[in-house]
A = this chain, B = another copy of it.
Amino acid sequence: MQYHLNGFTPGDPDILPADPARARKTPELPQKVDVLIAGCGPAGLCLAAQLSRFPEIATLIVEPKAGPMEKGQADGISVRSMEMFQAFGFADKVKRESLWINETTFWTPDSADPSQIMRAGRVQDVADGISEMPHVLINQARVHDMFLDIMRHSPSRLEPNYQLRVMDVQVDADGQDHPVTVTLEHTAPDRAGETETVRANYVVGCDGARSNVRRAIGGTLHGDAAHQAWGVMDVLAVTDFPDIRMKSIIQSQAGNILVLPREGGYLLRLYVELDKLNEDERVADRGLDIEDIIAKAQAILSPFAFEVKEVVWWSIYEIGHRLTDRFDDVSAPETSTRTPRVFTAGDACHTHSPKAGQGMNVSMGDTFNLGWKLISVLTGRADPALLHSYSQERWGAAKALIDYDHAWSRAVSAPSDAGGDMPAVQRKFIEGGLFTAGLTVTYAPSRLIGTAQWQERAAGFELGARFHSAPVVRLADAKPMQLGHTVEAGRRWTLFAFAPKEDAPLRELCDFLADDPMSPLKVHRRPQEDIDTLIDLRAIYQQGFRDLEHTQMHPLLRPLKGRHGLCDYEKVFCASTLPGEDIFDLRKIDRDQGCLVVVRPDQHVAAILPLQAHQDLARFFAGIFLKV
């Protein structure tokens, strides 16, 4: 964590100095904003948290409910989302507070007495080496709280405006100045029905499955219902089921359950398969309630006892897998003539069953993709055409999720099979391990993702996928750390330059970046701006930290920053000398040639280039950033 650059400031470094203009709050709604976000779910709050750190951007986030969520809904945090939380700075807090899923067990009818269940298999939940982060479970409300804290402690001191619902969104396709008109309705009992309008440059509908924003831009959810009712409950209970503190997938003759232990050591979540529904029947028609969920759970868990002591939250739903055609307001034919003004994210544009534990993760993934693009455009660094890429990149991710969820839901609901060395569902679970960890999201080559031509220079950093962190040692202070943790939520790109055995290529790259008129660090840098504001160069050496001197590094790797011109000592890293921890080995980096790995603000690998590909690098950034 870096702070005090522009002078010592007392107190908690996570509470950033307030921007006087933006932090001032008025009781009235603003007439114009840069971004209006509809909805305080994970998608909306993840976006608001990113924008709030840029006080030059006026953000309004509205929510019909009266205040922050307290319980219920999703609870699964994939390792990928934990990596993202690290970039926001609250992964440690979540690690401490959450339940870690370390092991998943599989239960099937006992072969001796099929009316009873037995443990048929077990799998380490997160395979070794796929991420430095655990897979955890925590109340969705607490994730909201983490983002709300970021907002509250940001220079903007952003708070949601509760008790406001987006009713309609109108885009003036030719307008330039705040061309989106948003109609808001008050939901407070004393103001119910009252409406106001706000004009925005951009609107992001994070307003859930019944999104008004989606409706306003003509999006419809396509897909199917599985005609299967499921119950979910968060309870405090007493049971002798042996694996109650592990994730357990239970297939019994009486039906199926997913057991999820939860944060705090006592809470449990159970997903319980209830009735099959007829065509055109809605789950509400059945009149099922919590007693039905508990009774069914008890039947499935037999011979184990399951006594519920407190019901914290419950819900009954049917599985639907639905997706809109696009996540913005620009139809395919319009793509070349106008740029998007309205977006949807999260459940507003894709829904799926909760059983793969992806709802919250993919929703945050959407706005983690959108956030830096909006920031780049709104701070005048990138052309608005950049915003087309949001729908392009995230639609694919959502589609893959829905396909996976389809298959997975079928596997869980299928009667358990007898044959083979493990239950079929266990095999599916293992196959899907990287997917459910959130690690298979890979963006296709585009303006933002280079070609695979040089992939073999760093085979362990898959182009388009998230940057897979690995251990390093920081040269200046010998600190053992994760290289990926240098990437912070925001809009900054990182150039990880892996040094070859020989000195020259990295030195020449630094010379080019420092001095050449074509250098992206010159072309896109504003006067007075710190050298690493937009693009952050970091070098990683093969030597141990005792074999190099920080003072011998290229000046670009020891940049002077801030109003005092202080040296930033955190740009150079060395391979760890601990057994099995050398990043060059772990990520299969070409030791002879080295390479340059370009990482986006959302931690995805944008390009892999030879260190000598100066012009390619310049061209790559010219395709993203405006000239200053």
CB distance B560 to A477 under 8 Å? no
State the Cβ distance, A240 to closest chain B Cβ, in Å: 6
For chain A, residues 450 to 509, give those with C-beta under 8 angstroms from any C-beta of chain B. 476-480
- Residues of chain B with a CB closer than 8 A to A4's CB: 236, 263-267
B-contact 0/1 string along A537-550, CB 8 Å cutoff: 00000000110011
- Residues of chain B with a CB closer than 8 A to A265's CB: 1-5, 568-570
CB distance A70 to B242 under 8 Å? no
Interface SS of chain A: helix, strand, loop or mixed? loop
Instruction: Determine if A95 is an interface residue (Cβ-Cβ < 8 Å).
Output: yes
Residue picked from A245, A560, A570, most chain B C-beta under 10 Å: A245
Instruction: Determine if A261 is an interface residue (Cβ-Cβ < 8 Å).
Output: yes
What is the total number of copies of this protein in its complex? Answer: 2
For chain A, residues 213 to 245, give those with C-beta under 8 angstroms from any C-beta of chain B. 234, 236-238, 240, 242, 244-245
- Residues of chain B with a CB closer than 8 A to A237's CB: 566
Instruction: Determine if A57 is an interface residue (Cβ-Cβ < 8 Å).
Output: no
Question: A11 with B145: in contact, given A96-B92, A99-B477, A478-B102 (CB under 8 Å)?
Answer: yes
Instruction: Determine if A337 is an interface residue (Cβ-Cβ < 8 Å).
Output: no
Instruction: Determine if A191 is an interface residue (Cβ-Cβ < 8 Å).
Output: no
Instruction: Determine if A396 is an interface residue (Cβ-Cβ < 8 Å).
Output: no
CB distance A551 to B242 under 8 Å? yes
- Residues of chain B with a CB closer than 8 A to A309's CB: 564-566
Interface residues of A (CB under 8 A from B): 1-5, 7-8, 10-14, 70-71, 89, 92-93, 95-97, 99-100, 102-103, 122, 141-142, 145, 234, 236-238, 240, 242, 244-246, 261, 263-267, 309-310, 312, 476-480, 545-546, 549-551, 560, 562, 564-570
- Please name 7 further chain A to chain B contacts, defined as beta carbons within 8 Å, in addition to the given A4-B236, A238-B564, A265-B568, sorted by A numbering: A3-B264, A3-B265, A4-B264, A100-B477, A238-B566, A244-B569, A266-B562
- Top 7 nearest A-B pairs by Cβ distance? A10-B70, A309-B564, A102-B478, A245-B477, A2-B265, A245-B476, A3-B264
18 A-B residue pairs with CB within 8 Å: A1-B264, A3-B263, A4-B263, A4-B266, A5-B265, A8-B71, A8-B234, A8-B267, A10-B70, A10-B141, A11-B145, A13-B97, A13-B264, A93-B93, A103-B478, A238-B564, A242-B550, A244-B476
